[in-house]
Structure 1
Amino acid sequence: MNTASWPYFDPDFDGLSERVYGPVCRVTIDNESSDECTVLKIDSVNKQGLLLEVVQALTDMNLTILKSYISSDAGWFMDVFHVKDGSGNKVTDQNVINYIQKAIGANKEAMVKARARNTKFLESKTSAHEPTAIEMRGKDRPGLFSEISAALADLHINVVEAHAWSHNARLACVAYISDQSTSSPIDDHRLATIEDHLTTVLRATTSQNTGDDVCTNQQEVKHFAGLPDHGRWEGTMTDVERRLHQLMLSVRDFDGPPSASGPSSSWPRSTANIPLGGHDDEEEREKKECQVRIESCDEKGYSIVTVSCKDRRRLMFDTVCTLTDLQYVIFHASVDSDEGYAFQEYFIRHVDGCALNTEGEKERVIKCLEAAIERRVCEGIRLELRATNRVGLLSDITRVLRENGLAVVRADIATQGENAVNAFYVRDMSGNDVDMEFIKTMKREMGPIDLDVKNETPIIRRTSPGNGNGNGSGNGRPRFSVGDILRSHVERLSHNIAIG
């Protein structure tokens, strides 16, 4: 009888190559070392952008990074994160733990391959039902987001999802749209019409007589053929946010708002830059305080970037994302937060191996990091509106806000089944504090629309002898009679929703 024999592999020897060369990535989750948080340890062969991938994965899972220590010299990546979940507790959910290990660990390569196969399958099977992704960038002005929403409604386009940021009078937006009648992707001919129409809206304030305007070639609208590389349908929310960072960087929002001397400079100065009285002045300075410094480490050839500012969620993602997109490699880093304040230190070199040698390069990196930190910090009130979704709903809501002196500085639009969930950060177009009594009255009168006001804080309004508008109250903005101003808009809006 013929017999077959196979080589013998010692189980201990099987793991030798992994011990010598290392796995793709080894993840250890420790809930014993600390009483307050979960300690996440990562060992991996290093590659450019790996730190961003890890931070992005943790951010996707809504984990808060309290501390981190990173070292990636000699081709090896070693990192320690101290994290908490969205409720401020240790990460104990086994499903979340398994996902962390799969998303970051040795199974990541297999997950990427499987995802690529699934994406090709989905493109062939369901591409007819997926929305089209478009992105917009350019100069911002009060009411622009409302104008964009109205333009899409006029073109009978349904906004399935959208995310927009405004900073330093620049706008970036990533949106997913579909045809109103078929809820299907839009053909190339209509896409060209949509792009031309939206580009015209974006360029409405571009003046040839004003040298401070954003260049015309930076006012543009683009669409993606097939599924995008970022966003809802293939990626995650952090993919969209990274793209928003890139779009804002491309329109140079880090240079600050355009000069007030030009006719197109329609955004008011930030309220944080207007002197206030008493303790409110100190609170505003603390809110805006952000210090970025760059020093040289000549012995090792690094540039040391230090960031100190008020702590918040996704802060590390924003800074690491910006340094990565600026083509810098992070070799070592230390991140810490204490009592609401964050301190970050990065040892970096450019991808070509050089440190930051010129003052111009250092100044640019400082400006870009400051802008990345400020983009997500909105000076305004967060409004959440929920209603039955229909084409034109977004246009109607933003028009009501615009016609009553409120500008949208950040927006997150989503659909959940038949419902639309819209979150807006709004501010007063005149630069004054948002009148909370006005918001509360609008909330009572919105009818079938469910309106929530988030981050509601006491407001100390500035007063002045007069503002030239005929209003002797001197509160910087005439008091609105909401019943007279909003009733017709809200009643029409409510009626449309009821029959939509």
Structure 2
Amino acid sequence: MSQSLGPRGPSFRSLRRSVDVQGAAEHTTIELTGRDRPGLLSEIFAVLAGLKCNVVASEIWTHNSRMASVVYITDEATGLPIDDPDRLTKIKQLLLCILIGDRDKRSANTAVSVGSTHKERRLHQMMYADRDYDVDDADCSSASERNRFVTVENCVDKGYTVVNLRCPDRPKLIFDTVCTLTDMQYVVYHAIIIAEGPEACQEYFIRHMDGSPINSEAERQRLINCLEAAIRRRTSEGVRLELCSEDRVGLLSDVTRIFRENGLSVTRAEVTTRGSQAVNVFFVTDSSGHPVKSETIEAVRKEIGLTILNVNDDAYSKSPPQERGLLSLGNIFRSKSEKFLYHLGLIKSNS
């Protein structure tokens, strides 16, 4: 039996900035993509609070000056999903104005989602569609450092393209790379995954869906850039701040406003609600992307509450992975994490 990646996920045209809204059984989902800047998250949550929307969960990623976010909201008064078309249109318009700011006005776009998928998979798709993998000319000097993670070569005698990836190990690394290969419409015929010690090694033998290998230097470089981006999107830069308190309407708006007023920029965030408790994680830098001074962090903690906001300096990306050892794609169903990929539609069985 062989395993290959199936293009079950929807394809998405490139949207340089977008606001998507969809209704769900328990909440309304808002999807945001656009240019990242200091204070953006504060403005987004302030708009939602002003529109009487309660944020029940959210995840925000930033990479290469781009931002993508999935936000789950309910009506502040009823706790039910928001499904009024006029109200949804207003929410989309106001959030789009925030995302546009005073730059890149021609790239603004809005759309309504017609499907649902796993949140982290969707974030990969959104950032891929937003072309966060594009390397600016100003970044060319550091391109060689980025590209040390990934090499792509053709195996002429077998008709495969061989992708080798070597980088620091972390949780969900396989998920991130497999998502990228799937969304780029490649089929994986063989793979070896080694996760021993602090470094991970992945080798994929891939072809196009028509059975052909990569046949141009431009495509080879694009694949390298896309895999590099997939590796780095989840990398958490900055100080990890953990907030746990009684949930209330406007909590996120207040917390992120305090961050903004103290010159903090959020590079990644995970927002969850467990019963009546808000359990949130923020990674913050200063407005220039540099490490935050300890006195600034303490000032923010005092304003929010020393018992509510705690600092965890252990980098999120260094958490021990749940799965270690040697895996082959032929045994992928034996691993819990790869079973998860199968249920997401990333992997299918071919006889």
What TM-score comes out, normalization by structure 1 length? 0.56
Question: Residues 387 and 448 of structure 1 are in contact (CA less than 8 Å); yes or no, is this contact kept in structure 2?
Answer: no
The 3-state SS of whatever aligns with 1:182 is: coil
What is the aligned counterpart of 1:402 among 252, 260, 263? 260
Tell me, yes or no, if structure 1 residue 173 matches structure 2 residue 74.
Answer: no
- How has the CA–CA distance of structure 1 residues 257 and 139 changed in structure 2, closer, same or farther, with 3 Å as cutoff? farther
Take 1:456 and 1:434, find their aligned partners in 2: how far apart are those partners? Answer: 15
1:293 maps to which residue?
A: 151
Tell me, yes or no, if structure 1 residue 308 matches structure 2 residue 265.
Answer: no
Which residues of structure 2 form unaligned runs of 5+? 10-22, 316-351
Question: Residues 150 and 224 of structure 2 are in contact (CA less than 8 Å); yes or no, is this contact kept in structure 1?
Answer: yes
2:107 maps to which residue?
A: 216
Report matched runs for 1:95-114 at 5 Å: none
What is the aligned counterpart of 2:196 among 329, 338, 346? 338
C-alpha deviation, 1:446, in angstroms: 2.9
- How has the CA–CA distance of structure 1 residues 45 and 431 changed in structure 2, closer, same or farther, with 3 Å as cutoff? closer
Question: Residues 151 and 198 of structure 1 are in contact (CA less than 8 Å); yes or no, is this contact kept in structure 2?
Answer: yes
Take 2:198 and 2:4, find their aligned partners in 1: how far apart are those partners? Answer: 32
The 3-state SS of whatever aligns with 1:253 is: coil
Question: Residues 240 and 284 of structure 2 are in contact (CA less than 8 Å); yes or no, is this contact kept in structure 1?
Answer: yes
Take 1:289 and 1:434, find their aligned partners in 2: how far apart are those partners? Answer: 28
Give the AA of the match of 1:317. F
What is the aligned counterpart of 1:362 among 195, 199, 220? 220
C-alpha deviation, 1:440, in angstroms: 3.3
C-alpha deviation, 1:162, in angstroms: 0.7
Take 2:263 and 2:305, find their aligned partners in 1: how far apart are those partners? Answer: 21
Question: Residues 405 and 430 of structure 1 are in contact (CA less than 8 Å); yes or no, is this contact kept in structure 2?
Answer: no
Bigger radius of gyration: 1
- How has the CA–CA distance of structure 1 residues 352 and 449 changed in structure 2, closer, same or farther, with 3 Å as cutoff? farther
Take 1:456 and 1:338, find their aligned partners in 2: how far apart are those partners? Answer: 20
Question: Residues 148 and 201 of structure 1 are in contact (CA less than 8 Å); yes or no, is this contact kept in structure 2?
Answer: yes
Report matched runs for 1:84-163 at 5 Å: 127=25, 130-163=26-59
2:20 maps to which residue?
A: none
Tell me, yes or no, if structure 1 residue 322 matches structure 2 residue 180.
Answer: yes
2:229 maps to which residue?
A: 371
Report matched runs for 1:219-258 at 5 Å: 219-220=109-110, 222-224=111-113, 229-230=116-117, 239-256=118-135
Show CA shifts across 1:193-242 (max 9, x none).
1011111111113246xxxxxx614x54x4546xx522xxxxxxxx2111
Take 2:198 and 2:164, find their aligned partners in 1: how far apart are those partners? Answer: 17
2:276 maps to which residue?
A: 418
Tell me, yes or no, if structure 1 residue 202 matches structure 2 residue 99.
Answer: yes
- How has the CA–CA distance of structure 1 residues 456 and 48 changed in structure 2, closer, same or farther, with 3 Å as cutoff? closer
Take 1:289 and 1:309, find their aligned partners in 2: how far apart are those partners? Answer: 11
Give the AA of the match of 1:252. R
2:90 maps to which residue?
A: 193
C-alpha deviation, 1:456, in angstroms: 4.7
Take 2:212 and 2:93, find their aligned partners in 1: how far apart are those partners? Answer: 42
* Percent of residue pairs identical: 46
The 3-state SS of whatever aligns with 1:255 is: coil
Report matched runs for 1:18-33 at 5 Å: none
The 3-state SS of whatever aligns with 2:95 is: helix
Give the AA of the match of 2:91. I
- How has the CA–CA distance of structure 1 residues 178 and 223 changed in structure 2, closer, same or farther, with 3 Å as cutoff? farther
Report matched runs for 1:54-73 at 5 Å: none
Give the AA of the match of 1:190. R
Question: Residues 294 and 303 of structure 1 are in contact (CA less than 8 Å); yes or no, is this contact kept in structure 2?
Answer: yes
Take 1:413 and 1:307, find their aligned partners in 2: how far apart are those partners? Answer: 31
Take 1:409 and 1:390, find their aligned partners in 2: how far apart are those partners? Answer: 24
Take 2:212 and 2:313, find their aligned partners in 1: how far apart are those partners? Answer: 44
- How has the CA–CA distance of structure 1 residues 304 and 456 changed in structure 2, closer, same or farther, with 3 Å as cutoff? closer
Take 1:198 and 1:50, find their aligned partners in 2: how far apart are those partners? Answer: 31
Take 1:376 and 1:197, find their aligned partners in 2: how far apart are those partners? Answer: 28
Show CA shifts across 1:247-271 (max 9, x none).
0011111014696xxxxxxxxx9xx
What TM-score comes out, normalization by structure 2 length? 0.78
Give the AA of the match of 1:365. L
1:26 maps to which residue?
A: none
Give the AA of the match of 1:254. Y
C-alpha deviation, 1:408, in angstroms: 0.7
C-alpha deviation, 1:430, in angstroms: 2.2
Show CA shifts across 1:320-350 (max 9, x none).
1101110001111111133301111110001
Aligned length: 298
Question: Residues 306 and 343 of structure 1 are in contact (CA less than 8 Å); yes or no, is this contact kept in structure 2?
Answer: yes
Question: Residues 289 and 309 of structure 1 are in contact (CA less than 8 Å); yes or no, is this contact kept in structure 2?
Answer: no
What is the aligned counterpart of 2:6 among 40, 49, 68? 49
Take 2:157 and 2:127, find their aligned partners in 1: how far apart are those partners? Answer: 35
Show CA shifts across 1:410-444 (max 9, x none).
11111111121111111111233211232234334
- How has the CA–CA distance of structure 1 residues 166 and 444 changed in structure 2, closer, same or farther, with 3 Å as cutoff? same
Report matched runs for 1:464-483 at 5 Å: none
The 3-state SS of whatever aligns with 1:426 is: strand
Which residues of structure 1 form unaligned runs of 5+? 1-43, 53-122, 209-214, 231-238, 260-268, 274-284, 458-500
- How has the CA–CA distance of structure 1 residues 396 and 406 changed in structure 2, closer, same or farther, with 3 Å as cutoff? same
Report matched runs for 1:1-40 at 5 Å: none
Give the AA of the match of 2:219. E
Question: Residues 3 and 188 of structure 2 are in contact (CA less than 8 Å); yes or no, is this contact kept in structure 1?
Answer: no
The 3-state SS of whatever aligns with 2:291 is: coil
Report matched runs for 1:477-492 at 5 Å: none
C-alpha deviation, 1:170, in angstroms: 0.6
C-alpha deviation, 1:189, in angstroms: 1.4
Question: Residues 389 and 418 of structure 1 are in contact (CA less than 8 Å); yes or no, is this contact kept in structure 2?
Answer: yes
